[in-house]
Amino acid sequence: MPTVGSSEPATAVESETTKNATKRVVDEVVALMGDIHDVKEEIMARGIPFHTVNVLVELGVHGKLEEQAGMRATALETSQKQHGPAAITAEKLDEHLDTLVALEKDLGHVRKLGRDQGLDMTSINYLTLIIRQNPGDGGEKVVNTFLGYAMACDIPLHRVTEIAEQATSGPKSVLPDIPREEGVDLGAESRKRWITDITIGCLLALGALAVLT
């Protein structure tokens, strides 16, 4: 993959991206979560609490429309009390909820496709969290800072190269992958491969740290 300032044609970059299932899924999840966030922000700006919005969407996703209708009426009353004439209308709320339900279903579909391609969606979720929390550089500064500390601490890594190859190319068959405990002979690895191992392993560790903190 070319770096910033590379003269490699954009079509070549796009071609490499489309071949990388992990990159493709992460990009789609990040985009969908961004769209979901924006619509929820519009509803909450009209006085409807975050928790209420989430429950309304969850009920819509699962087709529990009768339960949703009762909470929807309460949400409209809350908005009316707080914003008066500027309160959200029933039509606008329904439009936003329909959009959110559709986006949530799309998000679930993308995650399912990721799992079907053999991706570890827990790790994907960590990665998307890092990217969304660092919109300026996509998490680059945070990852590099964390990586520096991780390397200084001599954190041991296991099966990172294997995981990286699977994340890029997907499983070799439709049968479940059977984990194998295989030692990694660092003396036989090139320096480039060693650095790759550390980078990807620390990225996963960073994701876990971001979620826990």
DSSP letters spanning 104-158: HHHHHHHHHHHHHTT--HHHHHHHHHHHHH-TTTTTHHHHHHHHHHHHHTT----
Characterise 185 by phi-psi region: left (phi > 0), alpha (psi -120 to 50), beta (else): beta
Whole-number Cα distances in Å, 184 to 153, 161, 162, 197:
19, 9, 10, 11
Residue count (the chain): 213
Per-residue model confidence (pLDDT) at position 207: 59
Per-residue model confidence (pLDDT) at position 127: 84
Q: Which tokens belong to 127?
A: 């990665």
What values do phi and psi take at 154, rounded to 5?
A: 55, 45
Q: How many angstroms separate the CA atoms of 157 and 186, rounded? A: 11
Spell out, as residue ranges, where the chain has pLDDT lower than 50.
Answer: 1-18, 172-191, 212
Per-residue model confidence (pLDDT) at position 38: 96
* Domain residue limits, the chain: 1-117, 136-213
Q: Are 129 and 211 in contact (CB under 8 A)?
A: yes
Per-residue model confidence (pLDDT) at position 2: 38
pLDDT in tens, 1-33: 333 344 444 444 444 444 588 889 999 999 999
Per-residue model confidence (pLDDT) at position 102: 97
Per-residue model confidence (pLDDT) at position 177: 43
Per-residue model confidence (pLDDT) at position 193: 52
